[in-house]
Homo-oligomer: A and B are copies of this chain.
Amino acid sequence: MFNSIDSLTAFVHAAQLGSFSAAARHMGKSQSTVSEAISQLEIDAGVALFDRRTRQPTLTAAGTRLLSHAQHVLHSHAALRQQALALQSGEEAQLSIVLSDTFQSQAFETLLTAFAERFPLLRLECLVGEDDDVLALLRSGRAQLGVMRAQGRYQADVSAQALPGHTAMALYVGAEHPLAQAAQVNEAQLLQHRELRLSTYTSSPAGPHSPRCWLAPSYLLLLELTARNFGWAALPTWLAAQFGHGQLVQLNTANWPQATTLDLVWLRTAQLGPAACWLIEQLQHAGHTAAAR
């Protein structure tokens, strides 16, 4: 039968081994089964697949042509079965995680290579969000895991776990900004210039420091605005170092730079799959190398 995977398997094995009997042994079936399966296959195809004049049946030209197609079918079918096996073992179908830009993605990538080996079929989605956006994405079910700046406290349905290491935040201006030349900058001076501040999609920002204030939803966008001298901003130092291209100047201000810890957060109500649990475990143990810059 053309519609039976087993028939195609018999065909491919017979073609590769050059023997129906060997294919039957290989599949744990009787020789007559393989012979009949291939006969039926030839009836369905309307052409002979094997030349049986010799002792060892050899593929005909048509058989050669169909063999590659049959192998393709078997490959995709094997992928289907493997995916089913992964799902059967409880593996989630898709894992979405939200990362804050304060979390250095570069170090995270080494962990991802191990993740790809461990869960080769899992679809992974990486989102970027800050602060309450992260929590909103978790609550909406859009994501299962988040990495965000440590909040003082969380609502009852949120599990949080501190990641080892720190992320430093500092104040920056563009190289052409008036404050760029100042050796020391106090808070009064800051208030006289425009602040570039992180906003989130879900909530309006808390009372702005500066009366003149621009908002952007990502640190990368803030960095761009800062580099174009539109104002000063608090940015992760690693982001400024990696994407600042020397156009940023760090301000020397009291209480800055500040060290921030990162929290790994997830919903207490959502039962996490093995991939999410594996990620959590890896992040909190090998996380030393991932979070420390």
Interface residues of A (CB under 8 A from B): 2-6, 8, 44-47, 60-62, 64-66, 69-70, 72-73, 75-77, 79-81, 83-85, 87-88, 92-94, 123
Contacts and interface: CB of A to CB of B under 8 A. Distances in A.
B88 A79 contact: no
B88 A47 contact: yes
Given A4-B5, A93-B61, A47 B87 contact: yes
Contacts of A93: 60-62, 64-65
Contacts of A2: 5, 80-81, 84
A-B pairs with the 8 shortest C-beta distances? A46-B88, A61-B93, A69-B80, A65-B93, A3-B5, A45-B84, A72-B76, A62-B87
A6 B69 CA distance: 18
Nearest to A79: B69
Given A3-B4, A4-B4, 10 more contacts: A5-B5, A45-B84, A46-B84, A47-B87, A62-B93, A64-B93, A65-B123, A66-B84, A72-B79, A73-B77
B69 A76 contact: yes
A253 to B, nearest CB: 48
A88 B123 contact: no
